[in-house]
Amino acid sequence: MRTAANNPFSPGSDTIPQVWAGRTAQLSDWRDIVRPRRDAGLPERGRTILGEAGLGKSSLVRKIARDAADAGDWVTPQLRIPSGSDPLKRVATAALALADRAGLATSTERRVSDLLARVQRVAVSGVSLSVRQADGPEPYTALTDLLIEVGQAAIAQHRIALIHIDEMQNIADEQVLSQLLIALGDALSHEVAVPLPGGLHATRTLPIAVYLTGLPEFADMAGARKGATFARRFATTTLAAIDDDDLTAALRPFVIEGWEVTDGDGGVARIRMEPAAADLIVTLCQGEPFLFQLAGERAWYASTADVIAADQVLAGWEVAAPEAVAHVERILERLPTREREFVQVMAELPAPERTLTRIAKELGLTKHTDAGPTSQRLDTVRGIITRGKPYTFRHRAVEAYLTSDWPYVSRHD
């Protein structure tokens, strides 16, 4: 029996879907590289996960954070930064919570209690906190010092402290962004001496991991403006669409054994999916995690039967199509004029003719090199196209929207 209460699909940036698809490289990166290296005291950069809306950036890091919490690590909540807000206040509040988890609040050291009091003032006043020589260090320096104390406590208790800051592109103040990145980067690179058998000592980094997520333009804000320092301390990944094979694999439990749900009478039932229905969901969503969840959610609601059929997927997609249109249009509307024109002209050309020379000509440019910076941004920063011979679309939903009738499909099609 399919109901709203047992629907496992959940389109939305602030959820971890039950039906998880792909992103194995990023999940393995946390499990096999970031956590083991930080735990061993080896240097490892923070991670920046960027991408257009709907690619599952926040869900990905929330899944990593949940796995870390399940393993006993200290994890901040998803620290979303609203536009115009002071991120130092938000991060300082989370750092105080980590300090409490680490037991620092009960410390009898005057130095630690003074530091906690200082960061508490930062959590209230943020970057606007007045700084005089008698007041102590800058707010971001106090934040760094507290994170270092948390990291040292994590060493003693064999834990990792994981910090996740979301919507990084909303930090418009360049000075505030610089202070936040320096505070986090200094904590990541800080080394402490630890005792070894025989009275020897060695240095190690702190078991602190930092994940930053946001829209692609954050790459400009942090990378180009902050230069090599940011690149040395954070490794950036721009997410692309999920492969069809990964989406198909995510739906295999429905096709093979059925998805287990409660039946409303204290028992369990299984909801199955026809192979054709699973294939249709994969085709319709164009590799977009948000649209994958949306197509699954609407197919679930299209009937109460215990088998999801292809006609139910189509019926549900008819309801979802306007939202799919709005999703892609929001991505296009966010592009600067030149980038949007580039994408539109590229879409109008036959696939074999999508070369930089031809696109530049259609844009009315005298030299194809004039279109080079725009194409580079659409490739390396936004992840919408792939430069090559010829150029191709990496963002499949944008391509489908601009070159076909998608997302509107008929039952006959």
According to DSSP, the residues that pair with 168 across neighbouring strands are none
Q: What percent of the chain has pLDDT over 90?
A: 69
Residue 72: inside a domain, yes or no? yes
- Give the pLDDT band (50/70/90) at residue 137: low
Cα–Cα dist 98/79, whole Å: 13
* CA–CA separation, 14 and 63 (whole Å): 11
Task: Indicate the residue among 281, 310, 331 that finishes a domain.
Answer: 331
Among residues 301, 311, 331, 304, the alpha carbon closest in space to that of 396 is found at: 331
Q: What is the pLDDT of residue 393?
A: 96
Reply yes or no on whether the pLDDT at 259 is more than 50.
Answer: yes
Closest CA to 299 of 326, 286, 318: 318
Do 352 and 317 fall into the same domain? no
Contact 210, 46 (CB under 8 A): yes
Contacts (Cβ under 8 Å, ≥6 apart) of 275 = 255
Q: How many domains does the chain have?
A: 3
pLDDT at residue 241 is higher than 90: yes
**100 and 194, same domain (yes or no):** yes
User: Does 230 share its domain with 290?
Assistant: no
Confidence of residue 69 (pLDDT cuts 50, 70, 90): very high
Answer yes or no: do 119 and 40 share one domain.
yes
261 and 375 assigned to the same domain: no
Between the alpha carbon of residue 283 and those of residues 110, 276, 295, the distances in Å are 62, 10, 10
- Measured CA to CA, the distance from residue 36 to residue 154 in angstroms comes to 14
Q: Which of 287, 316, 331 is the last residue of a domain?
A: 331
Give 309's pLDDT tier (boundaries 50, 70, 90).
very high
Would 79 be classed as within a structural domain?
yes
The DSSP H or E segment spanning 13 is none
pLDDT at residue 134 in the model: 43
The residues near 247 (Cβ < 8 Å, ≥ 6 apart) are 21, 22, 281, 282, 285, 287, 292
Mean pLDDT of 309-319: 95
358-399, pLDDT tens digit by residue?
A: 999 999 998 999 999 999 999 988 999 999 999 999 999 999
Mean pLDDT of 271-296: 96
- Coil, helix or strand for 128? helix
Tell whether 250 and 211 lie within a shared domain: no
Are 104 and 219 in a shared domain? yes
Describe the crossing of helices 139-157 and 87-101 by its angle, rounded to 10 degrees. Answer: 30
Q: Is the pLDDT of residue 44 over 70?
A: yes
Q: Would you say residue 14 lies in a domain? A: no
The alpha carbon torsion through 59, 85, 104, 131 (nearest 10 deg) reads 150
Answer whether 151's CB lies under 8 Å from 161's CB. yes
- 224, 306, 283: which is closest to 407 by C-alpha? 283
**Mind listing the pLDDT tens digit for each residue in 54-68?**
999 999 999 999 999
Residue 114 placed within a domain: yes
Of the candidates 66, 53, 43, the one whose C-alpha atom is nearest the C-alpha of residue 213 is: 53
> Looking at residue 373, which CATH number applies to its domain?
1.10.10
- The predicted structure's pLDDT at residue 374: 95
pLDDT score, position 117 = 83
CA–CA distance, 14 with 358 (Å, rounded to integer):
41
Residue 133: which pLDDT band, with cuts at 50, 70 and 90? very low
Is the preceding peptide bond at 407 cis, omega within 30 degrees of 0? yes
| 196 or 157, greater pLDDT | 157
Residue 193 domain-assigned (yes or no): yes
pLDDT of res. 78: 92
34 and 183 co-located in one domain? yes
Residue 5: its pLDDT value, please? 87
Average pLDDT, the chain: 90
Strand partners, 235: 47
348 shares its domain with 226: no
Residue 2 covered by a domain? no
Considering only CA atoms, give the Rg of the chain.
24
Residues 384, 367 within the same domain: yes
Same domain membership, residue 204 and residue 324: no
What range does the domain containing 49 cover? 24-238
Find, among 182, 109, 172, 173, the residue nearest to 144 by Cα: 182
Q: Which domain-ending residue is among 331, 359, 391?
A: 331
413 found inside a domain:
no
Tell me, what's the pLDDT at 77? Answer: 92
**Residue 117 or 162, more confident:** 162
Q: Can you give the pLDDT at residue 219? A: 83
- Domain contains 3: no
Tell me the per-residue pLDDT of 146-192, one tens digit each, with 9 for 90 and over.
999 999 999 999 999 999 999 999 998 888 888 899 999 999 999 98
Q: How far is CA 34 from its chain centroid? A: 16
Residue 159 belongs to a domain with what CATH number? 3.40.50.300
Of 398, 389, 405, 286, give the one whose Cα is nearest residue 344. 398
- The confidence band for 131, taking pLDDT boundaries of 50, 70 and 90, is very low
Shared-domain flag, residues 344 and 306 = no
| CA pseudo-torsion sign 339, 340, 342, 347 | positive
